[in-house]
Amino acid sequence: MNDSILALVDRSIDELPNDLPRDDVSKVRMELFKQLRKAARKASKANGMMLYLPVERVHGSVVPASFVVSEPISATGAGFHSDQVFTGVAIGRGESETVTVDGATANRIERIVPPPERSEIQFPSRRVEYMLPLPGSPFPRWLAIAFSTVGDGKPDSEYSSALVDLFDANIMTFRWSYE
């Protein structure tokens, strides 16, 4: 994990202006490493298998968004159906809708989350979660993909909405591959 983070930090540092003092570059490098490691640990604690962070600058700015693909969630018990899982996950978590991803019925939940108390984060985030059923599983299992952005500090802004639309478009291209 640390090697991947260091590679990202090095790429980002290469994009800093050449006239930035060395001491400032060192501070930026250490802070970026710390923040990326913190994000990776948080994703890992949430059973994240993959963490996607945009690290390339777009028009000089870093895109304030990420998404995590989590380990498949299992549901056991007689008569446990997809609708019950989707309903159970969605209760109290935001607006929920049924969508089709790669020909399968999935669930999409969207909500706005206030910044955590006693944290460095000062803006609410807009979150979108997809629950995708794993095809061919002998018992009900789902893959969770969770997106988060602070956008421009306003969760309902055009910019935040554009980032959500981009994530949704990416999910709609999702396809299962079979060996």
Place of tokens 């930026």: 28
pTM of this structure: 0.73
Whole-number Cα distances in Å, 104 to 54, 92, 142, 161, 179: 28, 24, 11, 25, 19
| pLDDT score of 15 | 67
d(CA 98, CA 44): 27
Strand-strand pairing, 141-149 and 125-133: antiparallel
| pLDDT score of 1 | 61
How does pLDDT run along the chain (179 residues), one tens digit per residue?
677 777 767 777 776 677 777 777 777 777 767 777 777 777 777 777 788 877 677 777 778 888 889 877 776 543 445 555 555 454 556 788 999 999 889 999 999 999 888 877 788 999 999 999 888 877 788 889 999 998 888 999 999 999 999 999 999 999 988 76
| pLDDT score of 34 | 74
| pLDDT score of 79 | 42
Phi, psi of 87, rounded to the nearest 5 degrees: -65, -45
